Amino acid sequence: MNMTMDQAQNALDLRDAVLELFEDAKYKKVFEEGYFKAEAMRLPLALVDNEMQDEVEQRIIQEKIRAIGHLHVYMNSAISLGNQVQASLEAEEREKVNANKQFEVDEITGETYEVEGE
């Protein structure tokens, strides 16, 4: 993954903020119960409401439905990117640790073992 350390830290911070939001009772009430459930159920019904058949109203309702999906995808993408960054940073750290280790092969048994650095 190609990004600066600042970009990586921003991705981790955003992921952590989103995960923290998911645990907040107010977030759950406003977004999970309100926006992602109640509003997501109301809008498709509004699409077929006889009083909402005007072309402009239909387009507005469709955009609101898309907006729900966009917000959901944005937050899940922030979590996914943060997880990828963390995994990448951990892999880089493991590579650095392993690069500093010295190994030798026992000529008789063929076993590889770590030797103390000099």
Predicted confidence (pLDDT) per residue in 42-97, tens digit: 999 998 988 888 999 999 999 999 999 999 999 999 999 999 999 999 988 888 77
The fraction of the chain above a pLDDT of 90, given in percent, is 66
Confidence of residue 1 (pLDDT cuts 50, 70, 90): low
Asked whether the predicted pLDDT for residue 118 surpasses 60, the reply is no
Q: What is the four-CA torsion angle of 59, 60, 61, 67, rounded to 10 degrees?
A: 110
Q: What is the pTM of this model?
A: 0.73
Mean pLDDT of the 18-35 span: 96
What CA–CA distance (Å, rounded) separates 70 from 53? 24
- Phi and psi (nearest 5°) for 50? -60, -30
Mean pLDDT of the 37-41 span: 95
